[in-house]
Structure 1
Amino acid sequence: MDVGYRGPTACAAAGVTYRQLDFWARTRLVGPSVRPEPGTGEIPLYSFRDVLLLKVVKRLLDTGISLQQIRTAVEHLRGRDTSDLPHITLMSDGVSVYECTSPSEVVELMQGGQGMFGIALGRVWRELEGALGQLPGERLAEPLPDEPHPGDELARRRRERKTG
């Protein structure tokens, strides 16, 4: 992925507040992985995968799942290859979160007789693609050797304003 998303764009796409985004980044639940270090003078950027995880966290929170269980689910999803994510359905009984990768696994969980709900990551993925397609992203491609990086020009202007 050669695009990164600033915090406000990630918030809009995932349906979370900036306060939630900041808290989750500080507590390392979900943070910006494209440009993670805010102390470098560059604006942190979130990847598509980061924003997908933000949206999943929001949905799990909205259903009443504990932050501890959500953290476990997110860490598990981080370990999965990005190409696997659209094929996963997260199921929960309100206490635990389970990963299902086939319809038979979903049916097996449902046969327990307990109330369950599911989040199909493929659907969340498609929703997110639509939302991010209408929001601004930042290209991460390297500039040509004789072409200055657009961020360098902005940084130069800021320095001149502060020192001038």
Structure 2
Amino acid sequence: MTPSASGTEGDDVGYRGVTACQAVGISYRQLDYWARTGLVVPSVRDASGSGTSRLYSFRDLVVLKVVKRLLDAGVSLQNIRKAIEALRSRGVEDLAGITLISDGTTVYECRSPEEVVDLLQGGQGVFGIAIGGAFKEIQGSLSHLPAEPAAGGGQERAVSAAEPAESTESVGDELAARRARRRAG
């Protein structure tokens, strides 16, 4: 099954914690902490006692990847939590159209190339994360990792996160595209 423009696969497929860690590049301990503290709670199935495993959706994995990138860039977990909550509170359905810009303290949400440029010209931005790029990275990572039916069954099967939806392809890395145009003259 292929992710939709909103990045979610159907509720019929989920990725176990170990698979999520491999796809995103984080430790299981980080994943567990983020789930227990509510930063990124698995949307397919949360753990419901001893012996049950969490199942993460494709969209959950993209959010995990963004959290990891922000942490790697030096943004505090407290500020990351605020940024993720702000995205959730707005009911953001299509994460692929957003670029997050940060100065290391505050995280800004940009929905257009003009907003990115305005922030950079204003001196607020130091680095950016095009969420559409995270979609593509996760899809590549998942192409060889197992998924399982969300309904239980427990039998793992390989599910390819094949081609991205058209809207995620058009997003790309806006800043990289601007740099390429500048170099071309």
TM-score normalised to structure 2 length = 0.72
Distance 1:138-1:150 versus aligned 2 partners, 3 A rule: same
What residue in structure 1 maps to residue 52 of structure 2? 42
Q: Is residue 81 of structure 1 aligned with residue 103 of structure 2? A: no
For structure 1, list consecutive stretches of 5 or more residues without a partner in the other structure: 143-148, 153-164
In structure 1, how many angstroms separate the alpha carbons of the residues matched to 2:69 and 2:135?
13
Q: Is residue 150 of structure 1 aligned with residue 160 of structure 2? A: no
In structure 1, how many angstroms separate the alpha carbons of the residues matched to 2:86 and 2:146?
29
Q: Is residue 22 of structure 1 aligned with residue 32 of structure 2? A: yes
- Tell which deviates more after alignment, 43-52 or 92-101: 43-52
In structure 1, how many angstroms separate the alpha carbons of the residues matched to 2:153 and 2:138?
27
In structure 2, how many angstroms separate the alpha carbons of the residues matched to 1:46 and 1:115?
31
In structure 1, how many angstroms separate the alpha carbons of the residues matched to 2:78 and 2:71?
11
In structure 2, how many angstroms separate the alpha carbons of the residues matched to 1:20 and 1:28?
12
What residue in structure 2 maps to residue 54 of structure 1? 64
For structure 2, list consecutive stretches of 5 or more residues without a partner in the other structure: 1-9, 156-185
Identity, % of aligned pairs?
Answer: 61
Task: Quote how far apart the aligned CAs of 1:43 are.
Answer: 1.8
What residue in structure 2 maps to residue 67 of structure 1? 77
Distance 1:114-1:138 versus aligned 2 partners, 3 A rule: same
1:122 counterpart SS class: helix
What residue in structure 1 maps to residue 140 of structure 2? 130
In structure 1, how many angstroms separate the alpha carbons of the residues matched to 2:62 and 2:125?
25
In structure 1, how many angstroms separate the alpha carbons of the residues matched to 2:154 and 2:23?
24
Distance 1:151-1:112 versus aligned 2 partners, 3 A rule: closer
Contact 2:101-2:125 within 8 A present in 1 as well: no
Residue identity matched to 1:8: V
Contact 2:40-2:60 within 8 A present in 1 as well: yes
Superposition map of 1:113-124 within 5 A: 113-114=123-124, 116-124=126-134
Q: Is residue 107 of structure 1 aligned with residue 91 of structure 2? A: no
Task: Quote how far apart the aligned CAs of 1:76 are.
Answer: 2.1
Distance 1:137-1:107 versus aligned 2 partners, 3 A rule: same
Compare the two structures and name the one with the higher helix fraction. Answer: 1
In structure 2, how many angstroms separate the alpha carbons of the residues matched to 1:5 and 1:78?
21
* CA RMSD of superposed structures (Å): 1.9
Contact 2:148-2:154 within 8 A present in 1 as well: no
Consecutive aligned runs of 4 or more in structure 1 exceeding 6 Å deviation: none
What residue in structure 2 maps to residue 145 of structure 1? none
What residue in structure 2 maps to residue 5 of structure 1? 15
What's the CA shift string for 1:16-45, capped at 9, x where partnerless?
Answer: 001101111111111222111331753211
